[in-house]
Amino acid sequence: MRFQSVVIIAFFLISISKVKAQNYELDKVTIEELQEKVNTKDTTAPATILFKKGKTFFTYSEGRGFTANHVYEFKIKIYKKEGLGWANHKVSYYVGYGNLNNDNVSFSSAVTYNIENGAITKTKIKKEGIFNSKINKYWNQTTITLPNVKVGSVIEFKYVVKSQNVVRLPDFDFQYDIPVNYFEYKTEMPEFLIYKTILIGQLNIKSSSEIVESKQIFATGYKQINSLYTSENIPALKKERFVDNISNHTGSIQNELERKRFPQQPVVDLTKTWDGVAKSIFENDSFGKELKLKNYYSEDLKGLLANANLPSERLNTIFKFVQNRMSWNKEKGYFVDKGVKKAYEARTGNVAEINFILISMLKTAGIEVSPVLVSTIENGVPVFPNRTVFNYVIAAAEIDGNKILLDATNKFAAPNILPLNLLNWKGRLIKADGSSQEIDLIPETPSKANYTITATINPDLRKIEGQIRIRRADYSALQFRELKLNDNNEDAYLEKLENDLSKIEINDYSLENKNEDLSKPVVEKFSFTFNNAYDVIDGKIFLKPLLFFTDITNPFVQEERQMPIYFGYPDQNTYNVFFEIPDGYVIESMPKPMRIMTENKDASYVMNMIAEENKIQIQVTKGINKAIFAATDYDMLKEFFQKIIVSQNEKIVLKKI
C-alpha cells in the first residue's frame, strides 16, 4: 500500500541559510487583481488563494508556561459564483483545559474589495459577521462571513490562534480545492522545544532554517531555530472518485514536539514507540481501569452462556447480545465518557464504552481478547507512534490462532466484518503490559456478490421477462444492509432499483436473511420485465449478454490521477445469465470469450459463453482483488475498465430460421 510522500525534516541536518520571501502584504489590492477574470493556470477554478501566510512563534509567562501563537493571513480572488463560499471561514479551537488555559481565536483585517465606478472600494467586516459556537465540550468554533462578496471580489482576513498545546501544532495546509498562487510559513522555535517536521504531499517546497540569538521569551539570551517554507503555483486538489480521505493527500506541514531540553533540567524525550503509546493509554483510568470492571453484567452473562459451549458459540452469543442491547451515541474515541457501568445500565454509550463492555464479557467468558486502536477514514492515516492519531477502539478476539475483529456499535456489522469507515490501513492491538502489534484492518479475501438471471426473450413485444437472484456476502452484504435497512422504505428502494437497472419493472420482490444472521449472506429475489430490451435490425435480434447489468461508462475519465485509488475492500461480482432462445430463432453469432488481467492479477475479468439447443449460458466474473491502488496504476485501471465496457457491449445476434 502506497501513500503520498512523507518527508521528515530534522533541523539539525538542514544547512543553515537564509531565504528572503517575496513581499506579500494585506491591504495591497490592485485594480489588476480585481479585474482578473480567471486563473491563467487553471481557468476552471472558481477562486484562487492569491497568497496564504502563516507564522508560529512562542511566548512564555510564569505559571502558564509556553503559549504557541499561530498567525494566518489570506488573500483570495473570487472568479465564479461557485467560489462565493470562500467568504465564510471557520476556525476550531480547544476549550477542554479549563477557563484559564483555553485556546482562543481573534480575527482582524477582514475586508472585501470591489470595483465601483472605476475605483477600489473596501467593505470591512462588522461585529455581526463574526459568530462563536460550541462544537462539543472540548471544542468551540469561530466563523466569519465577509460582507458584500460577489463575483470579481478580492477578500482578505487575518486571524491569530493562541494555544497551550505545544505538543502537536496545527497543520499548516497549503493545498486546497482551489489553486494557491503563493504560500509561506515561518516558524520560530525556541531551542528548549525540538520539533519533528513532516511534509505531506508530492509538491516541491522550498525550505530553509537558521539558528539565531533571541531574547523574546526570557531575559537571558537563548538560541532559536527559525524556518521558512515557501512555494508557488500549488495546483488545486481535485475531487476524484474512489478516494479514502482527501486530507491524507493534501499538501500540509505538520510539527510534533520531539524533545524538551530546558536549562539545568533533564532532557525529556517525547518520541514514543508504539509500545509506549500502548502503555500510556492503558494507564489512563478511562481505559485500563474501565476494562477491568465486570460485576455489572454478571447475571446477564451467566444466562447467555447457559447453552454456549464452544468458544465460537460464546463469542457470537456475546457479540449479538452487546450489539442488540447497546445503542451508539455517535461519539468516537478510545476513552469512556460516563463509564461502562452507567452505559450498560442506560443501554447507550460511546464507542469505547460499548466495545469495552464487549471485551470484558468475552474475557470473562474465557476468550482471549484485546482492544485495538483505530483511526477512522475521516480521521486520517496513523503514520507515526502517537496517542492522538487514533479516534476509535474495537476488539480483537483470538480463537484457535485466528484473530476476529469486532465492533458492536454498528447494528449491521458481524465478526470480522467492520463498519466501512474502519477499513483504514492498520490498527494497533494493545495490551496492559505495554506490548502492542500491528493489525491489518483491510480484508484480503474478496467479498462476493452473485447474480443469477434467468430470462425469456419475447420477439413479438421486444421485451424480456425473467427472474433475478442476488446473493451478497461479507462487506457486500454489510453495504447493502446499511443502504436498504437504514432507510427501510421498500417502495423508494425498488423505484431506485428499477431506475438503476434501465427502468425495468420489478414484481414479487422478497428478501432473505435481512438481519436474522448478519454473518451470512443476504439474498434478494424478484421477477422483472424489461421493455425495449434489445435492438432489432433486418429481423435480427441484437442482445447485450448482461442486459441491464452491462457496464456502459468508465468510472475513470480523467486524463491524470492525483491520488491513490481506494475501493474500500476487495470484491468479486459474478453474473450467471441463462437465456431461452425464442422459437423460430437460432444463434448467428456470440461474443468471443474474454479474459482481462492487470499486473499481478490485482484486477481480473473473465467472460465465458456457451450455447446448447435453445439455451445460452453466460458467466462473467469481475474482481477487484485489492483495496488500494497507487495513483501510478491509474492508467492501467482505466484501460482495464474500458476493455470490460467493450467486451460487455458486444452483442449476441439471433436470426430467424
Name the residue with cell 441491464. 548
- Give residue 18's pLDDT band: very low, low, confident or very high (50, 70, 90): very low
The answer for residues whose C-beta is within 8 angstroms of residue 86's C-beta and 6 or more apart is 47, 76, 78, 155, 178
Number of other CB atoms surrounding residue 577 within 10 Å? 21
Does 13 score more than 50 pLDDT? no
CB distance 112 to 123 below 8 Å: yes
Most confident of 178-182, 209-213, 242-246: 178-182
- Residue 367 is predicted with a pLDDT of 98
pLDDT tens for 525-538 read: 999 999 999 999 99
Q: What is the distance between the alpha carbons of residues 46 and 52, in angstroms, rounded to a whole number?
A: 17
CA distance 291 to 150: 56
Residues with Cβ within 8 Å of 346's Cβ and at least 6 positions away in sequence, in order, are 338
Report the candidate in 86, 296, 257 with the shortest Cα–Cα distance to residue 178. Answer: 86
Instruction: Tell me the range of 214-218, 220-224, 396-400 where mean pLDDT is highest.
Output: 396-400
- Angle, helices 474-487 vs 490-500, to 10°: value is 120
- Grid cell, residue 352, equals 469505547
Q: Which of 37-41, 100-104, 195-199, 585-589 is the least confident region?
A: 100-104
d(CA 30, CA 120): 8
- Taking only the tens place, the pLDDT of each residue in 114-144 is 999 999 999 999 999 999 999 988 889 999 9
Q: Is the pLDDT of residue 17 over 50?
A: no
**Facing residues of 162 across strands?**
69, 104
Using 50, 70 and 90 to split pLDDT, how confident is the model at 65? confident
* pLDDT in the model for residue 214: 81
Q: Which residues contact 381 (CB under 8 A, 6 or more apart)?
A: 3, 245, 248, 375, 424, 425
Q: What is the pLDDT of residue 11?
A: 35
Residue with cell 456457451: 610
Find cell 421493455 and name the residue: 531
Residue 97 has phi, psi (to 5 degrees) of: -80, -30
Q: How far is the C-alpha of 473 from the C-alpha of 479, rounded, in Å?
A: 10
* pLDDT confidence tier of residue 9, bands split at 50, 70 and 90: very low
Residue among 315, 324, 332 at smallest CA distance from 396: 315
- Cα distances from 218 to residues 64, 214, 223, 265, 373, in angstroms, run 14, 9, 11, 16, 41
Question: Would you tell me the crossing angle of helices 351-364 and 311-325 to the nearest 10 degrees?
Answer: 150
Cβ within 8 Å of residue 37, ≥6 positions away: 79
CA 623 to chain centre: 22
- Comparing CA positions, the residue from 337, 333, 350 lying closest to residue 389 is 333
Per the structure block, which three cell numbers stand in for 607? 467472460
> What SS3 class is residue 306?
helix
Q: How many residues does the chain have?
A: 657
pLDDT for 61 equals: 86
Q: For residue 395, give the 3-state DSSP assignment.
A: strand
User: Which distant-in-sequence residues (6+ apart) come within 8 Å of 378 by Cβ?
Assistant: 245, 421
Question: Torsions phi, psi of 358, nearest 5?
Answer: -60, -50
Residue 89, φ and ψ in degrees, nearest 5: -135, 135
Which of 356, 363, 366 is closest to 281 using CA atoms?
356
Q: What is the pLDDT of residues 549-588, one digit of tens each?
A: 999 999 999 999 999 999 999 999 999 999 999 999 999 9
Strand order in the sheet with 139-145: 88-94, 139-145, 130-134
**121-129 long-range CB contacts below 8 Å, 24 or more apart?**
123/147, 123/148, 125/157
Counting beta carbons within 10 angstroms of the beta carbon of residue 5, is it exposed (0 to 12), middle (13 to 18) or buried (19 or more)? exposed
Q: Which of 256, 253, 257 is nearest to 205 (CA)?
A: 253
Beta strands 348-349; 327-328: pairing state: parallel
The chain-wide mean pLDDT, for the chain, equals: 92
C-alpha grid cell for residue 255? 510539527
The average pLDDT across 582-605 equals 95
Are 142 and 93 contacting, i.e. CB atoms less than 8 angstroms apart?
yes
